[in-house]
Amino acid sequence: MTLPRFSPENDPGPDFSALIDKYGMPAISSQGIIENLPHGTTCVAIKYNDGVVLAGDRRATSGHHISFRTIEKVFQSDSHSGVAISGAAGPAVEMVKLFQLQLEHYEKVEGNSLSLEGKANQLGNMIRQNLPAAMQGLAVVPIFAGYDLRENAGRIFQYDVTGGRFEEAAFATTGSGSLHATTVIKMGFKDKLNQQDAVALAANAIFEASDEDSATGGPDLIRDLFPTIAVIKANGFEMISHDKVVTTFTEIINSRKEQNGGT
């Protein structure tokens, strides 16, 4: 077998993408952005004196259209860690499921759970592997948080679309309403928050983000839908009950009414 020969006028040069495009097989990199897919929006994580609070709204949007009102964005990844997702909803949920499976498999094979640092690195690798899809609009940008049993402290890790991992000292936000959520948390955060105050601050951040960002879903009193809130501390991952979440948002709504003269 000999290598194919090209005449000077037909030589494709070193560009392989141009070659396969010439023969009717467009390269992946030349494809356009995939549009109108459901995207998750705003999530936050806040450290407090006993651990970490994770919170996320329930809305997924496709452009200006509300695709889902009840999507879950806060997931337990193992007994002492959790993930809050934003970005393309389908790939994000599948990434979380695979992440959960990998952590469970490691624990069964090794007999010990992976360190929190190792879990954060593993999730970063998964995001990096998703980069080709992210270039076509299927980006996934989660927040990873957990309680480090070795350091006896809550820790928060934020990522960029390339899988870059950055540990945050106090809080993290992601999604379309992150700018507004960050402002609220900055104004209300202080060292040694207790759990009740941290949960209230996370709820307030989501509430204000939903008030300014159309892609972020706030409390829906008609459908009885509220953002999801979880805490991670020394005794493990725990979802805040629906009744407590309703009470927290009711207090926020009543406070806003008082500030606006009861209207």
The separation between the first and the last C-alpha atoms of the chain, rounded to the nearest angstrom, is 83
Give CA–CA dist 220/227, Å, rounded: 9
Which residues make beta-bridge pairs with 255? none
Give the tokens for residue 74. Answer: 């806060």
Catalytic residue among 2, 41, 183, 247: 41
How far is the CA of 13 from the CAs of 20, 83, 172, in angstroms? 12, 46, 47
| 228 noted as active-site residue | no
d(CA 230, CA 53): 6
Q: Report yes or no: 67 and 88 within 8 Å, Cβ to Cβ.
A: no
Q: What amino acid positions are annotated as catalytic residues? A: 41
